[in-house]
Amino acid sequence: MTRVEIEAFAARWAASWNAGEVEKVLAHFHDDIVFTSPTAVEVVGTPTVHGKDALRAYWAAALRRSGALHFTVNHVFWDAGRREVAIVYTSEIAGRQKRIAEHLRFDARGFVVAAEVFHGVTGPS
């Protein structure tokens, strides 16, 4: 993937989330994805979710809890040699903003095989 392709990926990723289209987001993830997030502990009782079906269930439950959300991509950091991207964005949920970074690792076919989410401090929008 090139830098242009990864920036386009990040833009589509945010647009899909903003439209509530979880299946479009999941289309980029490998069936054996390993996904780690502090929110997962609150929603499914464990920080790490294994597999696309479990990730779908986690995201569906998280969206039911939070309602509408909006992601604005601030920066995209791409390491082509390692096939890793960090998407730094501002999340707005229920009038509260938070800076978040998602670190995604891609396989040779372009599917996300591992992801980890890092949250910043929540504040009013």
Q: Cα 40 from chain centroid? A: 12
Beta bridge partners, 102, equal 87, 117
Q: How far apart are CA 90 and CA 103, in angstroms?
A: 15
**CA nearest neighbour of 100 among 37, 21, 7:** 37
- Low pLDDT (below 50) residues in the chain: none
Q: What three-state secondary structure class fits 111?
A: coil
pLDDT, position 56: 96
pTM, two decimal places? 0.91
pLDDT, position 86: 98
| Structure tokens that stand for 99 in this block | 């800076």
Domains in the chain and their CATH numbers?
A: 3-124 (3.10.450.50)
Quote the Cα angle for 24-111-52, to 5°.
60
- The amino acid present at 120, given as its one-letter code, is G
| Structure tokens that stand for 123 in this block | 């504040």
pLDDT, position 68: 82
pLDDT, position 124: 62
